[in-house]
Structure 1
Amino acid sequence: MEISSVLQGGYNHPLSREWQSRRRLDKSMFMYPIFITDDPKAHVEIPSLPGQARWGVDRLEEFIGPLVKKGLRSIILFGVPLNCAKDDRGTPADDPEGPVILAIKKLRALYPALYIATDVCLCEYTDHGHCGLLNADG
């Protein structure tokens, strides 16, 4: 089998193939950041990011629906839980009932063609606040 016949991981979605097929930069190549919190009804403005808010899962459709109708094709989700039991391993990050995972499920059901990425930083989920896992020597 020739290596050119293998579909690489970055090409598994039509949108990522389009992004990587040309050398240009336009609005279709940007991901809209969405901050998800664990209060399902939340809509809290973020003072340090004008025009941005923390959204609860139950409010996502009202926010994202109009944007998808206007042509939004990709988003990146950032988890901002306020009430999770943080630990040194960042365990809440992959909780099936956590805000990011619930948001992915809801958005995938509502907008199957929407390209969804997630932030994998653990700082919001660890008790030490670092982005990754620490071992005995740091």
Structure 2
Amino acid sequence: MSMIALPSRHEPRRLRRRANLRALLREHHLHPGDFVLPLFLIEGEGLRREIASMPGVHQHSIDQAVAFCGEAVRLGIPGVLLFGVVDNACKDAHGSASWAADGLVQRGIAAIRAAHPQLLVIADACFCEYTEHGHCGVLDAQGDRDDSATLENLQRQAISYAEAGVDIIAPSGMVDGMVMAIREALDAARHEKVGILSYAIKYASAFYGPFRDAADSAPQFGDRKGYQMDPANRREAFRELALDISEGADMVMVKPALPYLDLIRDVRERCDLPVAAYNVSGEYSMLKAAARNGWLDERASVLEALLGIKRAGADFIITYHALDAARWLDQAPV
């Protein structure tokens, strides 16, 4: 269909002169219901530790996490994404603490579910926080990831989360076949109702740095470029997307968000599954640092960034800004 020609005297500014007119014609809107709040769990009681490289973000003991989730519910945030941060003494070569029935995340899922049944509980499924080497799975004798052994452990982890009461499992390790392995394990264990949010398109990004402080998950040698995507590649993302959809993913994710808005748009146009975007730690920290130095208006810059992610095509955004953004939107919707 051809576009209708605009009259020669068309003046777009007529529709921008008043705030109420701009609000009426606004094409995209942010709402607290667009956000998922990442949450770092630690052992202990009554603990709330600020992460130095992520001002305003904390690690929480389970009791504190439950209270923190109450604030999320009050603000209209529909879900949380859980990560476990365990002591080094609990780490081994396989990440076995991640699938223990009484593990940190498993107890966190149960406690949050009991206190806030209306809250969607998503659990990140990976091993970098639990392995002594900091890589996302089992390593072979040459130091490469053994995907077959990793998939078996991922099935154990997924079943343990499902038994704890999780709603959604979010595999983040970029293991080939991870969605199919998890789906088969969940179905065989009669957890057919548990969904899968796949980190389908996850780049080997410099913007993950602060997260590795938060989760104590930095690799002890090498890097993760052998299994995360090259930032230079775009077409490769479509193959990753197609594989995860064919394996049974219920939702797909692009990570990071701001440097990859083109990929969010591509994914939105190529599939009809819900699309998530992860506004990652480095994206959070750079805006926070600029605001603290007086270089940017924090509210305006954060909401503009989140709106850009949504405009690109994300159905929901995983973001450390979630609570602040929800409060700001409660005061003045965007």
Name the TM-score class by shorter chain.
0.7 to 0.9
Deviation at 1:84, TM superposition (A): 4.2
Describe the shift of the 1:25–1:91 C-alpha distance in structure 2 as closer, same or farther (beyond 3 A): farther
Deviation at 1:25, TM superposition (A): 7.4
In the alignment, which residue of structure 2 is the partner of 1:69?
74
Instruction: String of CA shifts for 1:67-112, please: whole Å, max 9, x gaps.
Output: 2122121110111112542111100011222221111000111111
Instruction: String of CA shifts for 1:39-76, please: whole Å, max 9, x gaps.
Output: 23211011111111000012123222122122121110
Describe the shift of the 1:48–1:33 C-alpha distance in structure 2 as closer, same or farther (beyond 3 A): same
TM-score by length of 2: 0.32
| Distance in 2 (alpha carbons) for counterparts of 1:25 and 1:103 | 32
Contact kept in structure 1, 2:48 and 2:59, CA below 8 Å: yes
Contact kept in structure 2, 1:84 and 1:92, CA below 8 Å: no
| Distance in 2 (alpha carbons) for counterparts of 1:65 and 1:45 | 19
What secondary structure sits across from 2:125 in the alignment? coil
| Distance in 1 (alpha carbons) for counterparts of 2:134 and 2:42 | 17
Q: Which structure 1 residue ranges, 4+ long, deviate > 6 Å from structure 2?
A: none
Describe the shift of the 1:62–1:29 C-alpha distance in structure 2 as closer, same or farther (beyond 3 A): same
Deviation at 1:30, TM superposition (A): 2.3
Higher relative contact order (CA 8 A, sep 6+): 1
| 1:86 pairs with 2:96 | no
**Alignment-mate amino acid for residue 84 of structure 2:** G
Aligned residues: 115
In the alignment, which residue of structure 2 is the partner of 1:104?
109
| Distance in 1 (alpha carbons) for counterparts of 2:140 and 2:65 | 37
Q: Based on CA coordinates, which of the two structures has the bigger radius of gyration?
A: 2
**Alignment-mate amino acid for residue 130 of structure 2:** Y
What secondary structure sits across from 1:65 in the alignment? helix
Contact kept in structure 2, 1:57 and 1:103, CA below 8 Å: yes
TM-score by length of 1: 0.74
Describe the shift of the 1:135–1:83 C-alpha distance in structure 2 as closer, same or farther (beyond 3 A): closer
| Distance in 2 (alpha carbons) for counterparts of 1:135 and 1:108 | 37
| 1:31 pairs with 2:39 | no
Unaligned runs of 5+ in 1: 1-23
In the alignment, which residue of structure 1 is the partner of 2:161?
none
Contact kept in structure 1, 2:34 and 2:77, CA below 8 Å: no
| 1:43 pairs with 2:48 | yes
Percent identical pairs in the alignment equals 36
| 1:131 pairs with 2:122 | no
Deviation at 1:28, TM superposition (A): 2.0
What secondary structure sits across from 2:43 in the alignment? coil
Higher helix share: 2
| Distance in 1 (alpha carbons) for counterparts of 2:91 and 2:78 | 33
In the alignment, which residue of structure 1 is the partner of 2:57?
52
Contact kept in structure 2, 1:77 and 1:100, CA below 8 Å: yes
What secondary structure sits across from 1:31 in the alignment? strand
Unaligned runs of 5+ in 2: 1-27, 145-334
Instruction: String of CA shifts for 1:103-125, please: whole Å, max 9, x gaps.
Output: 10001111112111112121111
What secondary structure sits across from 2:90 in the alignment? coil
